Chain A
Amino acid sequence: MTWLTWRQYRAQFVVGTAILAALCLLLVLTGLQLVSQYHTIITECASSTGNGQNGVNCSTGGGLFVGGPTVGFVSLIVLAAPVLAGLFLGAPMVAAELEAGTNQFAWMQGITRARWLAVKAGWLLLAAAAWGGVLAALTTWWASPTNAEHGSEFYPGRFDVLYLVPVAYAVFAMALGICAGALIRRTVPAMAVTLGGFIAARVAMTLWLRPHYLSAVTVVGNLPAQTRLTGSYWLISQGTRNPAGQLISGGNGGPEAFGVQLSSLPTACAGLANPTGGLTSSCRAALTGFRSFVTYQPASRFWAFQGIETGVFVILAVILLTMTAVVLIRRDA
């Protein structure tokens, strides 16, 4: 069976390896660029405390920027890469055989359908894991200067291309493709469902489930003291509530203080509109009951989240493969 699998996927293996090599080259070239930019800035700042040539304020780190248009482009490619395995190898695995009728040839040889599926799917899942793993390893190296700069490892879009999770995404995409092919029995519709299903699963997990893997930490401060966090955390939400518990907003263009519109604050604080107007004691007293809050996932949970997300997608893959096995073994060929 291994021989047949290899023979059937030889061409795809070569193409896949070529694409992977091209992606690796892209990552290495842009990655080296990022690293050298980063080192230039660091060494400049080591020799002067003023502003460096790149417009960086060396004492605060303000204006520090490495990368360029390549960062967004490469991130997008690495985000999309896992699904390719499911589209071009997973979806046709069963569907193309059913379409050509060759399953009637393969399943009448001296091996059971269960074994046929186990070996074939096993190798393809391994290939998907390798595909995701190589990309994830290289991307993790590639992203280290920008991560150091922004402390952004934990943010959606970054989290998704680093360390473990891309491996799980690729395995999930492969399982989804195989299952869609077995259920739908036609390659092109199965590919469409794989693409749609992958995007839906990833978006749903990222937007709605991931923030709740562990209950977020909320820090509350009484105005005028404001809550500030440092380091690499994942900000879920922040804002200010008035004593009635209503969320008061800012950013509407009017004069602001503490990140909220002045009109939402007590009239005693109207003086804050004047840049020189200090915090009067009457304003300070009127602010009693106004609270600012920050809800976030602390950086220390990064690995727990990577583990949970990986586990969730691996479990989804196992469910899909079990469905495939049941369908192939129980349904008429």
Chain B
Amino acid sequence: MTTVIQTRGLVKQFRRVTALSDCDITVPEGCICALIGPNGAGKTTLLRLLSGLARPTAGEMSVLGSTPRQDPAFLAEVGFLAQEIPLYRRFTAEEHIGIGAHLNRRWDAALVRDRLKSLKIPLDRAAGSLSGGQRAQLALTLTLAKKPRLVLLDEPVAALDPLARRHFLATMADAVAGDGLTVVLSSHLVADMERVVDHLILLSASRVQLGGDIDALLAEHRVLVGPRRDTAAIARTHTIVQAVHTARQTTLLVRGNAPVIDPAWESSEVGLEEMVLAYMGQDAAPAISDLTSVGEEQ
């Protein structure tokens, strides 16, 4: 499988704050990749680096075989939708289509019109007067009209209500099917994404905690529940991602496919959200770990 994005030791520093450190990711062609992490984890920074809007402090990136740069050939292949869904407030959808047509060599105006028509979004109203869901749909459709090979979407559904989220993700999934298009979309929640994504990158505290094909990742992890005890024996054969102890019981999320011999542990499969939360909790402030254990006790 061809690799669309590959980064090595990517670092981005803003004055004293490190937004991203030592980031190595690989995204294969044709996948829908969820970039998951809590607020402030560095998701926006990573997407902006990949789009070429920002430059890394250190490290290397290869996006579609080249380094992101201000060059028409690169820009034609990459679509980017920023979190605030920037559109010209006073321009209508039709005028946005006009901008795209004038600024891009490849531009599918018919695609935008058809899609907006089927979504019942008016072409002749100022973008500023559309609803949040309509604006997001318009912006996504404009991003896709460039016919890019890679689309980077920064928290595209964060501001949308559940129904609009579903519509938005359906539009995106629709566009990907059959086009060989690769999508990376960020979110702080995995639940919305679960149905459409097949690849996962987990960012937390400005580092990549986990990355890979979701099915493979789920197969590598499992939940062990047993009486409260020392976990040293398990730690020898598995990586313990998260351990939650209550008065009588210990719950572990472990990585590794080695068999668990001790019959005291009851092994079960892990859900995507559970796995993601465990990794996020790993590096988070103690308060959040406490919350997780409270949840376990209920």
The chain A residues found within 8 Å of chain B, CB to CB, are 1, 3-4, 7-8, 100-114, 329, 332-333
Question: Looking at the complex, which of B98-106, B188-196, B260-268 is the stretch in contact with chain A?
Answer: B98-106
> A100, B70: Cβ atoms under 8 Å?
no
In the complex, residue of chain A having the shortest beta-carbon distance to the beta carbon of B107:
A110
Contact string, B52-91, partner A, CB cutoff 8 A, digits 1/0?
A: 0111000000000000001110011011101010111101
> A1, B102: Cβ atoms under 8 Å?
yes
Interface residues of B in 120-139 (CB under 8 A from A): 139
| Cα A95 to Cα B72 with chains together (Å) | 24
Q: 9 nearest interchain CB pairs?
A: A101-B86, A109-B103, A332-B54, A110-B104, A333-B53, A104-B82, A112-B70, A108-B80, A3-B102
In the complex, residue of chain A having the shortest beta-carbon distance to the beta carbon of B100:
A109
| Cα A1 to Cα B100 with chains together (Å) | 10
Q: Assuming A100-B88, A106-B99, A333-B48, what are 9 further A-B pairs, CB within 8 angstroms? A: A3-B98, A3-B99, A7-B91, A102-B86, A107-B70, A109-B75, A109-B103, A110-B104, A333-B53
A92 to chain B, nearest CB (A): 13
Contact string, B191-225, partner A, CB cutoff 8 A, digits 1/0?
A: 00000000000000000000000000000000000
Q: Does B51 contact A (CB under 8 A)?
A: yes
Given A110-B75, A110-B104, A111-B103, A105 contacting B86 (CB threshold 8 A): yes
In the complex, residue of chain A having the shortest beta-carbon distance to the beta carbon of B79:
A108
Given A108-B78, A111-B72, A112-B72, A100 contacting B103 (CB threshold 8 A): no
| Cα A110 to Cα B106 with chains together (Å) | 9
Residue from A3, A101, A106, A332 whose CB has the most chain B CB atoms within 10 Å: A332
In the complex, residue of chain A having the shortest beta-carbon distance to the beta carbon of B77:
A110
A12 to chain B, nearest CB (A): 12
The chain B residues found within 8 Å of chain A, CB to CB, are 48, 51, 53-55, 70-72, 75-76, 78-80, 82, 84, 86-89, 91, 95, 98-100, 102-106, 139, 142, 146
Given A104-B82, A105-B87, A4 contacting B99 (CB threshold 8 A): yes
> B103, A112: Cβ atoms under 8 Å?
no
In the complex, residue of chain A having the shortest beta-carbon distance to the beta carbon of B72:
A110
> A108, B91: Cβ atoms under 8 Å?
no
| Cα A76 to Cα B99 with chains together (Å) | 40
> A333, B89: Cβ atoms under 8 Å?
no
> B80, A104: Cβ atoms under 8 Å?
yes
Residues in B neighbouring A333, C-beta threshold 8 A: 48, 53-54
Residues in A neighbouring B71, C-beta threshold 8 A: 112
| Cα A128 to Cα B267 with chains together (Å) | 74
A298 to chain B, nearest CB (A): 52
Counted as pairs of residues, one from A and one from B, with CB atoms less than 8 Å apart, the total is 74
Residues in B neighbouring A102, C-beta threshold 8 A: 86-88
> A112, B75: Cβ atoms under 8 Å?
yes
A3 to chain B, nearest CB (A): 5
A276 to chain B, nearest CB (A): 81
| Cα A8 to Cα B91 with chains together (Å) | 9
Provide a sorted-by-A list of 10 A–B residue pairs whose CB atoms are within 8 angstroms: A1-B102, A4-B102, A4-B103, A7-B98, A101-B84, A109-B103, A110-B76, A111-B103, A112-B70, A332-B54
Residues in B neighbouring A3, C-beta threshold 8 A: 98-99, 102
A265 to chain B, nearest CB (A): 69
Residues in B neighbouring A100, C-beta threshold 8 A: 86, 88-89
Residues in B neighbouring A110, C-beta threshold 8 A: 72, 75-76, 103-106, 146
| Cα A197 to Cα B138 with chains together (Å) | 41
In the complex, residue of chain A having the shortest beta-carbon distance to the beta carbon of B128:
A100
A185 to chain B, nearest CB (A): 14
In the complex, residue of chain B having the shortest beta-carbon distance to the beta carbon of A102:
B86
| Cα A333 to Cα B69 with chains together (Å) | 12
B73 to chain A, nearest CB (A): 9
Residues in A neighbouring B48, C-beta threshold 8 A: 332-333
In the complex, residue of chain B having the shortest beta-carbon distance to the beta carbon of A8:
B88
| Cα A109 to Cα B51 with chains together (Å) | 11
| Cα A110 to Cα B108 with chains together (Å) | 13
Residue from A7, A102, A103, A109 whose CB has the most chain B CB atoms within 10 Å: A109
> B89, A111: Cβ atoms under 8 Å?
no
In the complex, residue of chain B having the shortest beta-carbon distance to the beta carbon of A328:
B70
Residues in B neighbouring A1, C-beta threshold 8 A: 102-103
Residue from A103, A108, A109, A111 whose CB has the most chain B CB atoms within 10 Å: A108
> B70, A108: Cβ atoms under 8 Å?
no
| Cα A109 to Cα B147 with chains together (Å) | 11
Residues in B neighbouring A8, C-beta threshold 8 A: 88
In the complex, residue of chain B having the shortest beta-carbon distance to the beta carbon of A104:
B82
B62 to chain A, nearest CB (A): 19
Residue from B89, B102, B103 whose CB has the most chain A CB atoms within 10 Å: B103
